[in-house]
Amino acid sequence: MFAGRDVRTDFPVLHQKVGAHPLVYLDNAATSHKPQVVIDAVSRFYERDNSNVHRGLHALSMRATDGYEAARARVARFINAASPAEIIFTRGTTESVNLVAQSWAAANLRRGDVILLTEMEHHSNMVPWQVAAERAGATLRYVPVVGDNAEHGLDLDALDRLLTPEVKLFAFTHISNTLGVITPAAELCRRARAVGAVTVVDAAQSIGHEPLDVQSLGCDFLAFSGHKMAGPTGIGVLYGRRALLDAMPPWQTGGGMISVVEFGSSRWKPSPERFEAGTPNVADAIGLHAAMDYLDGLGRPEISLHDHALAETAYAALAELPGIRLLGPAGRRAGLVSFALQDAHAHDVVTFADQDGVALRGGHHCNQPLMRKLGLPSSVRASFYVYNTPQEIDVLVRSLRRIIQFFRA
């Protein structure tokens, strides 16, 4: 994989012990680690180019502006957007969804309209729509999650009933952060378009793991975070189709987003500046640029194959453990596996695994309604990225066997 390259040497944080054990980091769905090239890109900006962007005419400000705008153009290429003007930098997925909810939805939703979501949405792609619906007098509908543990997926037959002309917006995840389900995003966008609904794709879990092309997906908006794709925290992206962005009001106002200000009123710049009031996160946009170069250097189809293979290996190995309930599909799944142990609470599992150097995540994973539907208070999640290995899955399984024995004794 990755043409024989030792990817682990690119990530300085991996080379440490937790207590007496080498770190086995399996919490990548929460946040991924950063390769040295990303850390260097951010440091270099502060060491050499640090300056504010856009209104400066001196050398450092011009270099900072060039770096920031080059990062925007790189994002456009990374997701095959038609133009850099369709790329808005935000703090992350959560802020990107809130931008659409507070701008597009506030301007376009009316009483009686419907927002369609799925039952597997992360709170970040659910709560902003609850608030937007309440403000507009709109209602929410959910595409159900159906099937038993081995076949969890979206009830696509229910879409015919749910996707009526009252639906003005359909927001759904590309990859479920708990179930590992990969949704048929292009088909969902096509079916939404057929009833005139605008689509919002939450790509938080897919952007760093799968090749992604917004034009072939056919989505109107797409949101993601830099920190889950080998990039820095505090930087993310909202992609929006130009025609929609041009018609949307700003959601935050202030410097940088205006064309003319009078004492009484102001006029706005076009996208993307209209949606980026105030000093942006220049350093981390530049770090994100380095992360995209890094991921493309490894090859995004190769990353996808690597992560899927680890998840399959982990799923099969974990299925052997006594008293385990695995969540999500047994077949095609993204690079993560969630499970619950009969005898141990998820938080205890994570705490015990940490004693073996294994970093997992336990809880509701910001999927409270889904967990309630599955009849579980919480689950444990192991999630994989480019630097994880099959040997680390062996360590995970050994650790879980120890935990099961402890709680059964």
Q: Which residues bind ligand PMP (CB under 6 A)?
A: 29, 92-94, 122, 124-125, 173, 177, 202, 204-205, 225, 366
Residue 231 CB, nearest distance to ligand PMP (Å)?
11
Query: Which residues have a Cβ under 8 Å from the Cβ of 309 and sit 6 or more positions away?
Result: none
Of the pair 34, 122, the CB lying nearest ligand PMP is at 122
- Minimum CB separation of residue 225 from ligand PMP in Å reads 3
Nearer to ligand PMP, 91 or 242 (CB): 91
**Smallest distance, Å, CB 305 to ligand PMP?**
21
Three-state DSSP at 299 gives coil
Tell me whether residue 122 or residue 289 sits nearer to ligand PMP (CB atom): 122
Pairing of the two strands 361-363 and 379-383? antiparallel
Counting Cα atoms < 13 Å in the Cβ hemisphere of 211 gives: 11
Q: Which two tokens stand for residue 351?
A: 């705490």
Helix pair angle (127-136, 93-100), 10° resolution: 10
User: How would you classify the pairing of strands 114-118 and 139-143?
Assistant: parallel
Choice between 124 and 281, CB closer to ligand PMP: 124
**Least distance in angstroms from the C-beta of 226 to ligand PMP:** 8
Phi and psi, residue 118, nearest 5°: -120, 160
DSSP string, 206-231: TTTTS---HHHHT-SEEEEEGGGTTS
Q: Which is nearer to ligand PMP, 208 or 357 (CB)?
A: 208
Enclosing H/E stretch for 300 = helix 300-318
Supply the minimum distance, in Å, between the C-beta of residue 238 and ligand PMP: 11
Burial class (CB in 10 A: 0-12, 13-18, 19+), 277: middle
Which of these, 15, 22, 25, lies nearest to 386 by C-alpha position?
Answer: 25
> How would you write 355-386 as a 3-class SS string?
HCCEECEEECCCCHHHHHHHCCCCEEEEECCC
Q: Which is nearer to ligand PMP, 161 or 332 (CB)?
A: 332
> How far apart are CB 348 and ligand PMP at their closest, in Å?
22
**In 31-134, beta strands by DSSP E:** 87-90, 114-118
- Residues marked as catalytic: 366
* Token pair recorded at residue 151: 């076949």
Place of tokens 């597997």: 120
The least distance separating ligand PMP from the CB of residue 201, rounded to whole angstroms, comes to 10
Give the nearer residue to ligand PMP in terms of CB position, either 274 or 381: 381
Query: Is residue 272 reached through a cis peptide bond, with omega within 30 degrees of 0 on the bond before it?
Result: yes
